[in-house]
A = this chain, B = another copy of it.
């Protein structure tokens, strides 16, 4: 039995979307057991009348909710009875629980997980790995994208190993093509950390390292994993999202500026809907924290039921495929000491 905790509050459409997504995942996977955290009466109320296997669902009362603008440090210290922090604590304390899915504040979740949940043996720093769609219909994982603003070459190698296993085991990508984010293609580009990481990655046969990637090629479909420090990874992911959102907004505004454009857009309605769907992160699942001893998946704040279900599927696959023991096995072959 795979036991996953669902933090039912904190997202834009929670708790309904979180609970609905949970029930769909439950129906699809007979060996899945779910623990829902949040205000019990509310959850109970929403569940009543729904058809589901109540034997495989547990509700844990946690009356507080973490807001998206709260400082992570305050959340961890003061919001112990929140649906998120209680879930993290239970994940840490209960051996029978495998994973956690949350759509709440990224900062708070990552901070709580990093400080409360242990690491896979050998992992120096867990890393945050979101997924973006590429222009040829594929996906690319970006690791790290915010958990570590400063890194060493050894960290970067570990990020590559962890993200490779993740893309393989969860998305079925065989021998993922791994690139190092840099300011140019040549091996000698970037600072000393990048140069050293480049060398380490070429010496790691478990990683299919294809060289440096310039950020303009992120969506090209030529890469399955991009390895980077959390600062530039954060810039990479948020700039991509920001540019796409701003461009679509501008397009929409311009369409509404003239009748003939509106008419044209009407003919292209289905296409625009598809473009919007294509750029909707919800369709690509959540961002995982790689390297913690138990799986943590962060769904987008605006996740609807289908996105929550995808996050649960991700966590489930990571557990079923014993991702962390595979990770440990490879990581222990290389330098893994903090310094």
Given contacts A231-B232, A235-B181, contact A150 B191 (CB under 8 A): yes
Q: Which of B146, B234, B242, B250 lies in contact with A275, CB distance below 8 A?
A: B250
Within 8 A of B (CB), among A36-86: 71
Q: Provide the bound-state CA to CA distance between A218 and B247, in Å.
A: 12
- Pairwise interchain contact B215-A242, C-beta atoms closer than 8 A: yes
Once A216-B245, A271-B255 are accepted as A-B contacts, the answer to whether A231 and B264 lie under 8 Å apart by CB is: no
Residue among A146, A190, A215, A218 facing the most chain B CB atoms (10 A cut-off) = A215
The dominant DSSP class at the A interface is helix
**In chain A, residues 138-193, which have Cβ atoms closer than 8 Å to a Cβ of chain B?**
146, 149-150, 181, 183-184, 186, 190-191
Do residues A275 and B261 form an inter-chain contact, with CB atoms below 8 A?
no
The answer to whether B184 and A107 have CB atoms under 8 Å apart is yes
Q: How far is the CB of A166 from chain B (nearest CB, A)?
A: 22
Chain B residue nearest in CB terms to A192: B150
Listed in ascending order, the chain A residues whose CB lies under 8 Å from chain B are: 71, 107, 135, 146, 149-150, 181, 183-184, 186, 190-191, 194, 214-220, 230-232, 234-236, 238-247, 249-251, 254-255, 257-258, 260-261, 263-268, 271, 274-275, 278
